[in-house]
């Protein structure tokens, strides 16, 4: 089989899954159904035909506008579909086979969580639980890190941020971390194992610094009370670290 077949398939599958994830990110926080009913325009409610549902392509062909009402389609659809395609292609290029599919699932769930936290400062427990449980199940396809490293990673990831949040609340008398952040780090630990957690936090910190720099360059005021999506930063860091750990030598992060 040519080497490019799996990455191309991963990109196509990722774009299709990305279409669902984009709908989830746009509708779920508003309390609208993601699964029920036919796909429709978020602005006018017009039911979309099959040709208007082709991921990425339909958005570009329609110039980002609904053909029925002429209103702009939420650009999150294009961004999430494209990122999901890149995740699918990258995972199956770096790790062909079942392990690559497992890694793509990790990337897709992290993508949804990153988008929800960035836009709504919300990390749904159901999605975080799905991430944690799939990480433990992934030991079938990806034996390293082993199940014990993953279980320790889940507990250590959650407890480390939980204790930091509790100490901050005790000292400053206000919350400094969202309640979903410890759960997310624990869920990532269920995929990467406990030894990768410092790398996740370091990567999240670097991404956060880049985000702060961008805010400063665009004139956004930053204060001690500015809310930054730590969950998004950890989610963005998680997938590249999985690639490094799985494709380039798991001995870097596992015992």
Alpha-carbon span 37 to 214, nearest angstrom: 39
Quick: pLDDT tens for 85-142: 999 999 999 998 899 999 999 999 999 999 999 999 999 999 999 999 999 999 998 9
Alpha-carbon span 185 to 168, nearest angstrom: 18
Quick: pLDDT tens for 12-69: 999 999 999 999 998 898 887 776 656 666 666 667 665 666 888 887 887 777 776 7
CB distance 191 to 106 below 8 Å: yes
Mean pLDDT of the 245-250 span:
70
Residue 235 pLDDT: 97
For the chain, the structural domain boundaries read 1-94, 124-255
Residue 64 pLDDT: 74
Tokens of 42: 């978020």
Higher pLDDT, 254 or 169: 169
CB distance 247 to 209 below 8 Å: no
- Band of residue 162 on the pLDDT scale cut at 50, 70, 90: very high
Render 90-140 in DSSP notation, one character per residue.
HHHHHS-SHHHHHHHHHHHHHHHHHHHHHHHS---HHHHHHHHHHHHHGGG
């Amino acid at each position: 089989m040519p080497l490019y077949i799996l990455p191309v398939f991963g990109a196509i599958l990722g774009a299709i899954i990305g279409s669902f994830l984009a709908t989830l990110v746009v509708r779920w926080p508003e309390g609208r159904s993601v699964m029920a009913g036919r796909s429709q325009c978020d602005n006018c409610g017009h039911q979309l035909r099959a040709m208007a549902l082709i991921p990425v392509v339909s958005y570009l062909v329609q110039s980002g506008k609904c053909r029925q009402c002429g209103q702009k389609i939420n650009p999150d659809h294009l961004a999430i579909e494209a990122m999901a395609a890149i995740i699918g292609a990258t995972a199956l290029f770096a790790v062909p086979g079942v392990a690559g599919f497992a890694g793509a699932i990790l990337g897709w769930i992290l993508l949804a969580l990153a988008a929800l936290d960035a836009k709504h400062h919300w990390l749904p427990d159901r999605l975080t639980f799905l991430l944690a449980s799939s990480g433990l199940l992934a030991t079938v396809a990806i034996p390293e890190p082993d199940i014990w490293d993953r279980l320790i990673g889940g507990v250590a990831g959650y407890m480390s941020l939980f204790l930091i949040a509790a100490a901050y609340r005790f000292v400053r008398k206000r919350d400094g971390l969202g309640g979903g952040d410890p759960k997310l780090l624990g869920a990532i630990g269920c995929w990467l194992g406990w030894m990768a957690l410092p790398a996740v936090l370091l990567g999240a910190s670097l991404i956060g610094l880049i985000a702060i720099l961008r805010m400063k360059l665009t004139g956004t005021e930053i204060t001690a009370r500015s809310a930054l999506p730590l969950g998004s930063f950890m989610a963005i860091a998680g997938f590249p670290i999985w690639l490094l750990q799985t494709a380039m030598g798991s001995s870097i992060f596992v015992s």
